[in-house]
């Protein structure tokens, strides 16, 4: 029935009633969309979905399920399915879902082609920008990539730590192996052992088949542990043992599995200070800290901002099939003057939103950064040197207090000049353009 429906829509179809030949067809025929039933002889839909995502990760898979098994469909979507159809389904709904899957699949391929030349050889300059800070990062990446050192990558959230890790892997002798990223904060402590080390079939209630862990998946390649400080102390001890013995025990296994993995780690905290305070194991810190790369925040490499703005504009134009022409002078001024606490991740989201909102030129009105509230930085002279209650680094405390002092001084001088920004700029010995930008950035009303 589905085959006939698709043929009437102009598609050619392949119909298969078993999981194994379906996987062979995915390999040999490279279909554009896969309609997959949850219940089949042999492998069930979830197992086929898992195998398909290994063979063709960008292939849109639409799960077909009985009405009473919607929860299973939701789990399938979490595992990478594009959408689901509940039986009995409406033919028009099937056609709509298939067309949407095709459109999104085509978009992914277009974006992949657009950016593949940037990532093939770890071209960090193309990905991050032309600044001297990026040049220094590239030099360190090329130097450490030729070794098998464990690397700690330090930097604020959104600054590009995973890009650095990927570049090290791509430039290393392990580039033919897998680069396996793991977000240490996203795995519950109760599941961490199974996720890291894998499990045998029947090791626990839901272990219906053997599953290799992340460490085994990265064998002959690189394992990237993002935000490693989120690991509990007990898990840190288990990781240290793996690094020392170079083997893992899957849950339920009686024999160890030998692994050859290069470990790359990232953190937005000062690992040394955390170790000194007892929040991170000393022995693991000394094992990891063979080489450290510090990624500067975007506000410390403003030479990259205009380059990244153009790059994200071009990528979003292609994604949305638009032709937004560029940025107004005031828009570029706003991008350069903002501190970007969320770094490149926040910057990219801001550009994408602006491209969505216009069909011509991006102006500062298309950004939401000018609406940010700075009231949390308002201080009086008596508390300028007070320590905030949040767990902040010295650099962040100084940055926040600097913003607060700037706001306080500008507000007082503008009151003194009756809101005359030109006169206030002369009093403070800064140019008018800087005064105008600071007033807007800090949310000060000149009146």
Task: Write the pLDDT tens digit of every residue in 382-396.
Answer: 444 455 545 566 766
* pLDDT band, residue 344 (cuts 50/70/90): very high
Handedness of CA 18, 23, 24, 30 (dihedral sign): positive
Residues 84-94 have a mean pLDDT of 86
Least confident of 20-34, 121-135, 276-290: 121-135
Residue 135 has pLDDT above 80, yes or no: yes
Task: Take residue 225 and report the two structure tokens written for it.
Answer: 């542990």
Q: Specify the higher pLDDT residue, 42 or 355.
A: 355
* pLDDT band, residue 376 (cuts 50/70/90): very low
Tens digit of each residue's pLDDT (9 = 90 or more) over 277-290: 888 999 999 999 89
SS3 letters across the chain: CHHHHHHHCCCCCCCCCCHHHHHHHHHHHCCCCEEEECCCCCCCHHHHHHHHHHHCCCCCEEEEEEHHHHHHHHHHHHCCCCEEEEECCCHHHHHHHHHHHHHHHHHHHHHHHHHHHHHCCCCHHHHHCCCHHHHHHHHHHHHHHCCCCCEEEECCCCCCHHHHHHHHHHCCCCCCCCEEEEECCCCCHHHHHHHHHEECCCCCCCCCCCEECHHHHCCCCEEEEECHHHCCHHHHHHHHHHHHHCEECCECCCCCEECCCEEEEEECCCHHHHHHCCCCCHHHHHHHCCEEEECCCHHHCHHHHHHHHHHHHHHHHHHHCCCCCEECHHHHHHHHHCCCCCHHHHHHHHHHHHHHHCCCEECHHHCCHHHCCCHHHCCCHHHCCCCCCCCCCHHHHHHHHHHHHHHHHHHHHHHHCCCCHHHHHHHHCCCHHHHHHHHHHCCCCCC
Residue 379 has pLDDT above 50, yes or no: no
* pLDDT band, residue 231 (cuts 50/70/90): confident
Tens digit of each residue's pLDDT (9 = 90 or more) over 178-210: 999 998 877 777 777 778 887 777 666 666 677
Residue 127 has pLDDT above 80, yes or no: yes
Residues 130-153 have a mean pLDDT of 93
At residue 439, the pLDDT reads: 82
Tens digit of each residue's pLDDT (9 = 90 or more) over 142-172: 999 999 999 999 999 999 999 999 999 999 9
Tens digit of each residue's pLDDT (9 = 90 or more) over 414-425: 888 888 887 888
Alpha-carbon distance 295 to 154, whole Å?
A: 6
At residue 397, the pLDDT reads: 74
At residue 211, the pLDDT reads: 77
Residue 354 has pLDDT above 90, yes or no: yes
At residue 380, the pLDDT reads: 41
Least confident of 19-23, 33-37, 205-209: 205-209
Residue 248 has pLDDT above 90, yes or no: no
* pLDDT band, residue 374 (cuts 50/70/90): very low
265 in Cβ contact with 152 (< 8 Å): yes
């Amino acid at each position: 029935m589905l085959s006939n429906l698709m043929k009437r829509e102009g598609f050619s179809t392949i119909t298969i009633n078993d999981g194994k030949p379906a996987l062979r067809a995915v390999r040999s025929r490279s279909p554009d969309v896969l309609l997959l039933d949850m219940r089949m002889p042999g492998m069930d839909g979830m197992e086929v979905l898992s195998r398909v995502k290994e063979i063709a990760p960008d292939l849109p898979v639409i799960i077909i399920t009985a009405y009473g098994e919607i929860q299973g469909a939701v789990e399938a979507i979490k595992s990478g399915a594009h959408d689901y159809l509940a039986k009995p389904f409406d033919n028009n709904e099937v056609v709509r879902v298939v067309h949407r899957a095709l459109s999104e699949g085509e978009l992914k391929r277009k974006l992949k082609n657009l950016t593949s030349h940037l990532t093939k050889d770890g071209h960090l300059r193309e990905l991050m920008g032309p600044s001297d800070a990026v040049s220094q990062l590239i030099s360190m990446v090329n130097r450490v990539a030729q070794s098998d050192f464990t690397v700690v990558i330090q930097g604020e959230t959104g600054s590009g730590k995973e890009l650095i890790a990927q570049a090290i892997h791509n430039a290393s002798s392990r580039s033919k192996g897998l680069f396996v990223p793991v977000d240490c904060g996203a795995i519950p402590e109760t599941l961490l052992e199974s996720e890291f080390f894998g499990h045998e079939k029947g090791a626990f209630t839901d272990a219906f088949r053997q599953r290799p862990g992340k460490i085994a998946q990265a064998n002959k390649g690189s394992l990237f542990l993002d935000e490693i400080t989120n690991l509990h102390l007990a898990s840190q001890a288990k990781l240290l043992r793996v690094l020392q013995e170079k083997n893992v025990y899957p849950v339920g296994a009686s024999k160890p599995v030998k692994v050859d993995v290069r470990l790359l780690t990232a953190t937005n905290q000062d690992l040394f200070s955390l170790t000194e305070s007892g929040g991170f194991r000393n022995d693991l810190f000394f094992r990891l800290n063979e080489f450290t790369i510090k990624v500067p925040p975007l506000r410390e490499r403003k030479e990259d901002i205009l380059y990244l703005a153009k790059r994200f504009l071009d990528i979003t134009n292609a994604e949305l099939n638009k032709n937004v022409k560029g940025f107004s002078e005031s828009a570029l001024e706003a991008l350069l003057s903002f501190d970007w606490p969320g770094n490149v991740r926040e910057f990219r989201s801001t550009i994408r939103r602006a491209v969505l909102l216009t069909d011509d030129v991006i102006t500062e009105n298309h950004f939401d950064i000018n609406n940010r509230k700075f009231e949390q930085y308002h201080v009086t002279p008596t508390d300028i040197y007070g320590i905030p209650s949040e767990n902040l680094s010295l650099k962040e405390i100084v940055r926040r207090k600097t913003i607060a002092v700037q706001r306080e001084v500008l507000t007082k001088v503008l009151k003194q000049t009756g809101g005359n920004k030109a006169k206030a700029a002369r009093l403070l010995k800064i140019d008018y353009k800087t005064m105008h930008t600071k007033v807007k950035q800090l949310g000060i009303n000149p009146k």
